[in-house]
Structure 1
Amino acid sequence: MADTIDKGASLLALGEAVRAALPDGAVQSIDVERGEELVLRIGREALLPAMTLLRDGPGFAFEQLMDLCGTDWPERPLRFDVVYNLLSLSLNQRIRVVVATDAATPVPSVAGLWPVATWYEREAWDMYGIVFAGLTDLRRLLTDYGFEGHPLRKDFPLTGYVEVRYDEERKAVVYEPVKLTQDFRNFDFLSPWEGMTTLPGDEKVHLNRIEGPKA
């Protein structure tokens, strides 16, 4: 318990150091989640100065962008969170930076700081429709170029769209209406084994009940 408290205190100190090094209001909140994950919420306009500080500041040295992803909160005016997970190998510390935006306002691209962000930002654009200002290669990554919409938005419809696949019989790429298997949509979430009559190993349990365990 004491170790957890000490770690949480050191993470909060790191967050306060970031806040102190940036202009007033740049850091909107500092939280330590699960006792060991430092999370900073930063204003969209302060993202590039904050990320530059985190990468190049001698007390921070977050050299690597490990991940960038989006989350969707449709009930909020700024419905999207862009989440950046950074790692400092030299100082053995991690930090998560979160920036909120809406469907129309671009978020500054960090690909100039971490080139690997190009792929992550393309994925966030493809899946959520989050626009990144300054990204020179804003193309779809996981869906087809002719796909309409952004499939990880929570209001994305499950029907009325087409999917693309390779048809082995026709030896060509074909477009077809999306087909949702009814069994998957009606899953009751009560038991993952619902509908299964026997599982591997059940026959041994049955024999033991009849014959008794072997010596």
Structure 2
Amino acid sequence: MAVLHSAPKITSNEGVAAALSAALGDMLLDAHEEHGEILFTVKRDRIEDALRLLRDEHDYQQMMEMAGVDYPQRAERFEVVYMLLSLTKNHRVMVKVTTDEATPVPTITTLWPNAGWLEREVFDMYGVLFAGNTDLRRILTDYGFEGHPFRKDFPLTGYTELRYSEEEKRVVYEPVELAQELRQFDFMSPWEGAEYVLPGDEKADMPPIHDPKVTEKTSDTGAGKAANIEAAKPSAKDSVPTAAPDAPKPTEDRPTRKPRKGKATDTKSATEPKGGKK
């Protein structure tokens, strides 16, 4: 029995951006299509209204995921991205808002209960605040963790380290102390076709590899007058080589072996004695 589904297997983006942009109205700041996805940027204080409209009037029933993005060079460095799915249309859209470290984003836990955990994750990793979330606590990092590890300016080593102290018989937190400065190692050898200049190499005036340096005159050698006179003398390798002696003649002349009778697989003549079987 064939099962019919109301949602199409593939849904086109044609006309979706224009229709939803008209519906969002003054809540919308930007709408465009990128990498096959439709993205809407809405006003931060209207995010709850915009998502409610998309859920109730345009059938984007599920909020599948939330993500944070950090652009430190911007005044509002953070983006909060909401990914919506329409089950009846089999279509997805992304809605995003921008904010800074101090300005909270309105919570959407009033629309989707699962947003509580996702907002906690964005808060933990980026430090974005969500106004109205009654349980905004860290969810991935440890108790007492300092900073937000997904920020671009967060140090790779962190601020503190923990270890078990045998003297105190407990886990202790200490500031990070490195035996040497953290270095970024590049394992690509510059002699194996690297297409970039390593730090410091730009100061060296190196001749082209395929144009070897030669001494055009005696003063270029730097060895002195006596060495130049000695070097001008012909060496043994410059002498004309003598002809190689002829190869020696063979010491004996064996007659050519007669061709073997029979096939190569026939071993009777080799295994049986002459004169027949005894």
What TM-score, normalized to structure 1? 0.73
1:7 Cα offset (Å): 3.3
Counterpart residue number, 1:20: 22
Distance across 2 between alignment mates of 1:181 and 1:67: 41
Match of 2:95 among 80, 94, 97: 97
Task: State the partner residue of 1:118.
Answer: 116
- Which amino acid letter does the alignment assign opposite residue 44 of structure 1? R
What is the Cα deviation at residue 45 of structure 1? Answer: 1.6
Structure 1 position 72 matched with structure 2 position 70:
yes
Unaligned runs of 5+ in 1: 1-5, 192-215
Alignment check: 8 A CA contact 1:41 1:97 kept: yes
Per-residue deviation at 1:151? 1.3
Q: Deviations over 1:114-171 (max 9, x none)?
A: 1111111101111111000100100011112211211111112335611346x59898
C-alpha distance in structure 2 between counterparts of 1:71 and 1:160, whole Å: 19
Counterparts in 2 of 1:122 and 1:115: CA distance versus 1, 3 Å: same
CA–CA distance in structure 1, aligned partners of residues 69 and 179 of structure 2? 26
Q: For the structure 1 residues 156 and 52, does the alpha-carbon distance in structure 2 shift closer, same or farther, using more than 3 Å as the test?
A: same
Confirm or deny: 8 A CA contact 1:144 1:164 kept in the other structure: no
Q: Between Structure 1 and Structure 2, how many residues are aligned?
A: 179
- Hey, what's the Cα distance between the residues in 2 that align with 1:69 and 1:113? 17
Displacement after TM superposition at 1:175 (Å): 2.6
- Tell me: CA distance 1:138–1:189, structure 2 relative to 1, closer, same or farther (3 Å): farther
CA distance in 2, matches of 1:189, 1:109: 46
Q: Share of identical aligned residues, percent?
A: 54
Structure 2 unaligned blocks of 5 or more:
1-10, 190-278
Cα distance in 1, alignment partners of residues 51 and 39 from structure 2: 14
Pairwise CA RMSD: 2.9
Residue 14 of structure 1 aligns with an amino acid whose one-letter code is V
The alpha-carbon distance between structure 1 residues 145 and 38, as it changes in their structure 2 partners (threshold 3 A), is same
Residue 151 (structure 1) aligned with residue 134 (structure 2): no
SS of alignment partner, residue 39 of structure 2: strand
Higher helix share: 1
In 2, Cα distance between the equivalents of 1:126 and 1:65? 20
Counterpart residue number, 2:263: none
Q: Which structure shows the bigger proportion of residues in strand conformation?
A: 1
Which residue type is aligned with residue 111 of structure 2?
L
CA distance in 2, matches of 1:15, 1:115: 27
- Over alpha carbons, which structure has the higher Rg? 2
SS in 2 for 1:150: coil
| Separation in 1, partners of 2:187, 2:108 | 40
Q: Which amino acid in the other structure matches residue 175 of structure 1?
A: Y
**3-state DSSP class of the match of 2:136?**
coil
Partner Cα distance (2:147, 2:24) in 1: 37
How far does the alpha carbon of each residue in 1:167-207 deviate from its partner, in whole angstroms, 9 at most, with x for none?
5989854434447798x95232749xxxxxxxxxxxxxxxx
> Does the 8 Å CA contact 2:165/2:172 hold for their aligned counterparts?
no
2:173 is matched with 175
- Contact in 2 for aligned 1:39/1:96 (Cα 8 Å): yes
Q: 1:19 to 1:175 in 2, by over 3 A?
A: same
TM-score under structure 2 length normalisation? 0.57
Matches within 5 A, 1:36-47: 36-47=36-47
Compared CA separation, residues 189 and 32, structure 1 to 2 (3 A):
farther
